[in-house]
Structure 1
Amino acid sequence: MLRARPLVPALATLLLTAPAALPAHAQEREPADRQRLLDLAYVLGQSHALRQACEGAGDQFWRARMMRLIDVEASDSGFTAQMRDRFNGGFAASQAGHPEGCSPESRRAERQAAVRGRALASKLSQTVVINDPAQASPDSVADGRGAR
């Protein structure tokens, strides 16, 4: 049964539109932003595990967003590996922390992860300057248009 998740659509939209608008790559980011990317990867891993607890193992919603983030960042292989490790760490931590599966506690943890992820994604989207708007992806909100 699908339940309303008010923060999930907002976070998903931010993750899909903000990084896609950015031609900057992880290796060009400041150290604080690289850390935020690692923290975001961890939160996405947490969210993936918590969502799967209620929606089933076949649900790949947050994993797909993580793969999109890796693609958009186009970072060096070492940083990509760090991001994957953080995602997997968040996934494992949430699975271990909620062995009961879908519960009110796991739903609460999912909402908390969404709030943290949204804050990280928002901060990342505010710290990047687009040097060439022509390079922004077609689903970008960088030019003032909404995602298509």
Structure 2
Amino acid sequence: MPDDDAVIVINRGPEGTGELAWMPDDRSYCLAVIREARAETSCKPLPNSWARIGIRLVTTGRTVSARTVFFAVVDGGHGPYAYAGTAAAGPGPDMGPVHDATAAFASGRTLSLLTYERPVGGRTPGDQYICSADNAICFPALDAYAG
């Protein structure tokens, strides 16, 4: 774990849950998913190519109690992010909220770091995409890709 000032808290849930990340540079990331007071940490390089315009990475993290934590890295600071879709009712009741935080680098580059939980194998009308507040960036919520 790096110093506290280098850690980006994406979500602080009830005691023993949350997601935090740190980026040693703008080319690699580390993600810690904490559930039931246990942390699973992974550090990896970001892909060299963009998976979609503005989307650097969407990957699945830890699966606990039939729920999977997704992690996304998005170019620029366009938050907040939320579900968007065709159903007026919005995302299904079992969908966790989208949490986001922004990492800023000395070069001026910013990356948005997002986490959200989904039931394993769950698909619900109305939650096909996650979009930024200005709708400049949207991506499929259930796709995982690394470029």
Q: TM-score range by the shorter chain?
A: under 0.3
TM-score scaled to structure 2, two decimals? 0.27
Q: Which structure shows the bigger proportion of residues in helix conformation? A: 1
Q: Which structure shows the bigger proportion of residues in strand conformation? A: 2
Bigger radius of gyration among the two: 1
Greater RCO, 1 or 2 (C-alpha within 8 Å, sep 6+) = 1
